[in-house]
Structures are given as C-alpha cells and as structure tokens.
Structure 1
C-alpha cells in the first residue's frame, strides 16, 4: 500500500511522454495508492496551486490506451528552473505546504535535465527538513542527452520519424533530372543524437543522407561548400542533415549568421532556428544550384502516428519502475534504462543517484562520428536501430488518430 501520489510533466514534450504518465498512474493504483494527483503545467503550476485528481479523468482501460497514444504533455508543461533553496527559501516552503496539504508520500517528475535538477533540489531540501516524501525522476527527452541511462524515452519515436521523413525527402529529391540540394534541419542544441538518426534512412533501396553534421564537432562553411561541390560531380540530388546547433569554431551558431531577428527563451538560450535555411541560401549563392531548407521543428516530438512500440513500451516501464522504486523507499534517484542484450535487444530498468545525472549532458561519442565529421558510424546505427522498431497502431476515428481529450483537464 502507498499513500497519495503527485506526478508532473516538464520541459519539451515527446510522442510517448504520456505513456510514462500512464505507467506512473496505473502502477500507483495497482499498488494501492490513495489519490493520484497531477500537477498542471509542472512545478510552476503547482506553485500556483494548479493540480487535478487523475482518478476523475481516467475511468477505463481504453482511456489509458488512448493516453499512451496521445502526443505532447497531457498535464501541460513548463520550463521553470527551480532556484537553490538558499537563494529563495520561500519557494520550497510553499511547495512543501502544498505537498503536506495533499498528504503526498511520493513525488514523480517526468522530464529531462532541468526536471532532474528539480528532483535533486527537492529531495535534498526534503532531507534537510526531515520530510519522508520520496522524490523520483522519470526520464524523457527526444534529445537523448540524459546521463547514466542507455537512452531516454521519447528519443526512439523521434528518431523513427526523422529516419522515415528523411527517406521520403530523399525520394522526392530524385524526381527531376537536375542538380538540387535539400538541407534537413533537425533539433539538437549541443548534442546530435537526433540528427544522427537520419542515417537510419539508409536501406537496400535508399542510400540515406549524403552528409550529416552534428554539433559535437565544429562546422566550417568553406569545407561544407567544398564537400557539396565534390559530391555533385557524381550525384545530382543531395540530401543533407544538420543539427540546429551546428556552430563555427569560434562558438557562433550557424543560424546566428543570418540577419533575422533572434529570440531567447526564459533561460536566456537563443532559439536555434534557421541553420538549414542559411546553408540552403549559401549553396544557392556560392554554387548556383536549386536548394531548399526543410525544418522538421516540433514535428519531431509530436508525431505519435510514427511512434516506436519499443519507445512506448519503455516509456510506460520507466513510469512503473519509478513507483516501485518509491515503494522501496528510494528518493533522490532517477529511473534509467540499461541495455542488457544486443541480440535480441533488451533493456532493464534500474535507479541511479540523481546527483550524478542532473545538469550533465550526454553527447554522441566522438568515435561514433565519422573521421571527416560528415556522418555517423555503424556503432551509432547499431545503438539507435533497435529503438525505432515496431509500431502501435493508432486508434483511428474518421480517418485520423484518436487522442484523449485535453479539454477534460484544462
């Protein structure tokens, strides 16, 4: 038996983040939880006393199945950096007043690096004041940049969408008998896990992207033009995948070379958009051939019709494992996936000290990037390919995927 539970979602959404919510909710109820509350808009919403009783919204197995198949964050999200308690004690006092009011015994936060930082800070403060509330992190991020875990739920489905879309773009590029270049801009500020997934488009009937550029290595516009011109001697249609965060040796992002107005988020990070467009214009100007830039943008994280069954299943499993870890008395930890078998592929769940995960960014290993920095190796492909396998067919109504109704909660 366990007492009342509180769960929230934070950061950028994924196609399978709600499967983790389903895993937390269903496992908590199976273990005898009293109330399962959901924060609305993450920890920021909780500070405004925004939460709901999820028992009033999930009434059947069908609704849970729809939840697994519904993209984005059902409870809403936030990008709120919890300050250190020494800098603003009042925030912590307010949070714990709410937790005590709701008689919360277990607190689960589904998110990426900033969310794990929240778990770390809340669990540390809880120990200081002698609270018995258990705080467990549930990993998610399409960026796949959380430390300790083999991969993060959300990445597999985004990788599947990117690889499939790249394959379709390659087919489209071959229509006309003329030189053309297509630049696909893929999410990834500092890590190239998503962009590397474009290489999975390679198959018996598809050569895959011609060039792939990750932010783990410096980018040179001069070398880029040279490489394109060299490839055009033997191939008319080129498709190139670039991370939105590719940058020059001096640290400037490629998208910053454009003269467009730039915006920053609440953390002061520049919105990275326009690298593909800039490089496409550069090709047109320097080489003089037809070129276009395609920005996949939020499609990478919301395309639930292209979700990986492996990803959906693992997202549910990490939510369930978080509940079991809390029942075992653990706190200040995050659930991780550990690859125990490559053939056949199999991952197990464990928990790991949140202090060794929060605010640490996992990059693509340099040995998994080709020596000329224009692609990824077979080791990368072997790592990523199992994560995009199989599908969970959407429940179709009127020819379109059916999602659980957000209006019932917001």
Structure 2
C-alpha cells in the first residue's frame, strides 16, 4: 500500500489500551504500511508536531508483548476538544497540513466517547475538502459507556480488579470481633457498569457486598442511612459499593453535598471524587458508627497485573479490525464488539458510523437494577465472561516490566 499510518490515544487510559495500539501497529505492518507513527498526547500533541516512529520502537516480538502488558497510554493522552469546523477551520487546516507532511493515509484514534467526537469531526472535514485519508475509531474505556458496542475494551480488566479487590476488602472486615463499615467509591461517571462489577465478589468463598448504588437511579441519603442502620443490627461488617456519579433528587452529585474543589475538563466533565467520604462521615455523624471511605481511583484503570485475557485479546482484535476496515476503504467508522454467544462466550467485530457513538452515553438498563439496592443476575451474567483468564506480566527483578515509547 502507499502512504503511512498514524495512531493516537486519548482520554482516560485503561490496563489494555496498549494492546489495541499493538493491534493497530502489527496489523498495519503486516498489511504493508510504509511508516507507522504514534501521536504523543493525542491530537493535541499532533498539533505541536509531537510524534514518534513506531516502526523503529516496536521492532521485535518482545517489544510488542511488553506493550500489550504495559498499563496506561504508552503514547500519552489528552482531553482536547476539537472546535466546531465552521468556527475554527485553521485548526483543521493545521492538522491536515501535518498529515500531508507525513504522507498519512490512515488515521486511528483509540478512545472513548470524546475521542469518537474527534474522529467524527476529522472524517467530516476530510470529506468536505475531498481528502482521501481514512479515519477510524478504536474503542476503549473502563466506564463501558459507549453506545452500540456490546462492551468496551478496558472494562473487563477494570471489572476483574474491582471484583477481586471487593473480595479482599470483605475478607479484611472479618479480622476484628466487632463490625466495620466500608464504603467503596468506584469510577464510571454517569454509568454504573463498573460499580455493578462489585457484585461479582459474591461467590462460594465470599458473601459479597451488602449494597450497590448506581447513578442510573436517584440516590436517597436518608434511605441509605436507614439501610446501614438495619444492616448494623446483624453485628457483621458491612461493605457498600457506590458509583462516583450517584446523584440526589435535585440533580446534585453526592460529592457536591460536601465542600469540594471543582475542576471541569475541556469536554465539560466534572472531576468526580468524594461521594464515599461524604457518606462515611454521614454514617459516623448520624449513627455514631465508625465508617471507612475507600476510593479505588486510578488503580481501576492501571492494574495491569490483573488484566483479563479476554479483555486484552479483544483490545488487540479491535485495533486490528480497525486497520483492516480502513485499508478496505472505510472511514468515519468505529469498531464495535457484537456478542454472538453467551455459552460459550463469543464476540465478533463490526464497524458502525462514529457519529452514532460520539458523545452518546450507554447506561445500565433500569431493569438490571433491583429495588433492594443491588443488581440482577442478568447483569452479573453479562459481566462474568469479560473477566475470564489472565495474562501474566513479564517479571524482571521481581517487578513487572513495561515499555516506554516516548523516552
């Protein structure tokens, strides 16, 4: 093929986002790409002409294997919102000038809702100026909130980490001869997929978490306190999973009920943190019981020592599928996963118009959330295949070895 490839990563990272990068790179190389460039810090870095030649960086099987096992975004990331084309054509002219300079014919962007907005805008601009560059989105997000796709690469590994950690927190609660209350705050913004994964902790060797609160339903502080008071009568330790995005009836996030410093990114997303701390303080003040707030925070998206093999394999496959589709002429699309079988579990890749996914949030169906502050077996059945199997880290001197592409 003629022309070069460029790939970037955007938004919050995952434990397997670099497996998608490896899938893009290896498939493009196998299909005859001349040069494969990586944007440093996504499209924002591209505007500053910050990029690396991946053809030189990933020149061995060992390098690619390390890349698959490396957490976070190996190329760096950004939260940069492209302006409206009609209001700022200069930004688009600058991007396409750089792409022309590098002889780019295929552009791949690995990311979530906001990243798909970037692909949507760039592909539409390309069409307006009759550019032959193909633009493809590669899905990722631990939040699992992309529309159309069955699930997103990155979610399975984060769910595996959450379920495993909840089991350990529950076990820790058995240490003392008096009950403890642990309120665990889990990521996910406005969608409760990640918090729902706490339900997987319930198994033959674990009684599971006591309560699960997702942002799809209005959160009632008084109802919550009443449930904790009731559970406290059992004399056992209590573990509660709450989404960072839970809201009260007037639309405020729970973390906004306490004093907090507000930060809003370029896409208008508030920094969410503090719901568990507020609720733990409320329990202590109202019930006179010691309560601990636990924020899993960035550990949910960077715990590469506990990736799901299913997840890391699918992440690689969607990267490869994006290259295949672009090389066959598709543009303005994103690769999606379609579940074709539950037993045995099987997913295939398809493509969908990126405009149908950009800036659209997929939330947990209300019928999968119970009235007694938990989730249904259907939701557990949906998540369970995504956490299966493991990919062991490559250990050096007792620690996992990672790959740094931008040094």
Task: Specify the TM-score bucket, using the shorter chain as the normaliser.
Answer: over 0.9
2:146 is equivalent to residue 146 of structure 1: yes
CA distance in 2, matches of 1:65, 1:288: 52
Residue of structure 2 in register with 1:69 after alignment:
69
Deviation at residue 405 of structure 1 after TM alignment: 2.8
Deviation at residue 328 of structure 1 after TM alignment: 1.1
Aligned-residue CA RMSD (Å): 1.0
Question: Which runs of structure 1 show a deviation greater than 2 angstroms over 4 or more consecutive aligned residues?
Answer: 260-270
2:112 is equivalent to residue 108 of structure 1: no
Deviation at residue 236 of structure 1 after TM alignment: 2.0
Partner SS state of residue 316, structure 1: helix
- Contact 2:173-2:179 within 8 A present in 1 as well: no
Residue of structure 1 in register with 2:357 after alignment:
357
Partner SS state of residue 80, structure 1: coil
CA distance in 2, matches of 1:105, 1:265: 31
CA distance in 1, matches of 2:108, 2:153: 16
Deviation string, structure 1 residues 181-227 (Cα, Å, up to 9, x no partner): 10000002100000000101110011111000000011010000011
Residue of structure 2 in register with 1:161 after alignment:
161
- Contact 1:5-1:106 within 8 A present in 2 as well: yes
Deviation at residue 268 of structure 1 after TM alignment: 3.9
Residue of structure 1 in register with 2:59 after alignment:
59
Residue of structure 2 in register with 1:299 after alignment:
299
CA distance in 1, matches of 2:221, 2:148: 34
2:257 is equivalent to residue 257 of structure 1: yes
2:382 is equivalent to residue 383 of structure 1: yes
Question: Structure 2: which 5+ runs fail to align?
Answer: none
Deviation string, structure 1 residues 289-330 (Cα, Å, up to 9, x no partner): 121000000000000001000000000000000000001100
Partner SS state of residue 239, structure 1: strand
- Contact 1:38-1:54 within 8 A present in 2 as well: yes
2:344 is equivalent to residue 330 of structure 1: no
Q: TM-score scaled by structure 1? A: 0.98
Give matches, 1:308-347, under 5 Å. Answer: 308-347=308-347
CA distance in 2, matches of 1:192, 1:83: 30
Q: TM-score scaled by structure 2? A: 0.98
CA distance in 2, matches of 1:180, 1:283: 12
Residue of structure 2 in register with 1:394 after alignment:
393
Deviation at residue 267 of structure 1 after TM alignment: 3.5
Deviation at residue 2 of structure 1 after TM alignment: 5.0
Partner SS state of residue 316, structure 2: helix
Residue of structure 1 in register with 2:133 after alignment:
133
Residues matched between the structures, number: 407
Deviation string, structure 1 residues 219-256 (Cα, Å, up to 9, x no partner): 01000001111112224200000001111010111111
Question: Structure 1: which 5+ runs fail to align?
Answer: none
CA distance in 2, matches of 1:261, 1:105: 44
Residue of structure 2 in register with 1:199 after alignment:
199
Deviation at residue 272 of structure 1 after TM alignment: 1.0
Give matches, 1:240-255, under 5 Å. Answer: 240-255=240-255
Residue of structure 2 in register with 1:229 after alignment:
229
**Bigger Cα displacement from structure 2, 377-386 vs 251-260:** 251-260
Partner SS state of residue 137, structure 2: strand
Residue of structure 1 in register with 2:238 after alignment:
238
**Bigger Cα displacement from structure 2, 214-223 vs 263-272:** 263-272
Partner SS state of residue 385, structure 1: helix
Deviation at residue 355 of structure 1 after TM alignment: 1.3
CA distance in 2, matches of 1:359, 1:271: 18
Deviation string, structure 1 residues 106-163 (Cα, Å, up to 9, x no partner): 1000000011011011111111111111100000000000001000000000000000
2:8 is equivalent to residue 37 of structure 1: no
